Amino acid sequence: FTAEGTALAPGGPLRYPATGTVPTPPPAPTRDSYLSDLDWISAANGWGPVERDASNGKSAAGDGPPISFGGTSYPKGLGVHAPSDIAYHLGGAAVRFTSLVGIDDFSAKQSSLGATRAKVYGDGRLLLTTPTLTAAGGPVAVDLDVRGVRVLRLVVEDANNRTSFDHTSWALARVTVS
């Protein structure tokens, strides 16, 4: 967009041009979809990038192993490390969001220190806060009504004042459209 502004300055008003861009969100899903197959609006991660269909590994993209909890692997999902925040444009098209969220085996094999809490927001409204997630506690099943939600946010926070070994995965993270 292009605009013009006016500022009051000694000697009279001063006019100045201004330009900017307004980002267009990715398209809303039109069919049942795994979130790892959709483009996100934004993604922030505490260690390395958010991983698609893999656990969060080290600091490079694609360096994480398959997502797994208690020895069971999951082919789809998102691998993150606290603190993380991923936003998706649903455009009001989805009716359900489902996932298993927990401390991934990749982290559990290294240390038992990992402890996080997952939150899900719909249009800025808190829809879910999990209990504290630990490797010993296993993943938590998420099944939420997201009818009418335009923006879905998946947030993972540290739960023990240490951000060590907070590798958390959203296994089978999926939105249902119809």
User: What would the DSSP string read from start to end of 132-156?
Assistant: PB-TTT--EEEEEE-TT-SEEEEEE
Is 105 a member of any domain?
Answer: yes
pLDDT band at 106 (very low <50, low <70, confident <90, very high): confident
Would the pLDDT of 12 be above 90?
no
From the CB of residue 112, how many other CB atoms can be counted at a distance below 10 Å? 13
Higher pLDDT, 136 or 23: 136
Average of per-residue pLDDT across 119-138: 96
Average of per-residue pLDDT across 89-112: 92
Give the C-alpha separation, 167 to 150, whole Å: 27
Would the pLDDT of 149 be above 70?
yes
Is 77 a member of any domain?
Answer: yes
Is 112 a member of any domain?
Answer: yes
Is 12 a member of any domain?
Answer: no
The count of domains in the chain is 1
Which uninterrupted H or E stretch holds 107? helix 105-108
Quote the domain boundaries for residue 53.
Answer: 26-176
Is 17 a member of any domain?
Answer: no
Which tens digits make up the pLDDT trace of 17-31? 777 777 788 999 999
Is 19 a member of any domain?
Answer: no
CATH number of the domain to which 64 belongs? 2.60.120.1060
pLDDT band at 1 (very low <50, low <70, confident <90, very high): low
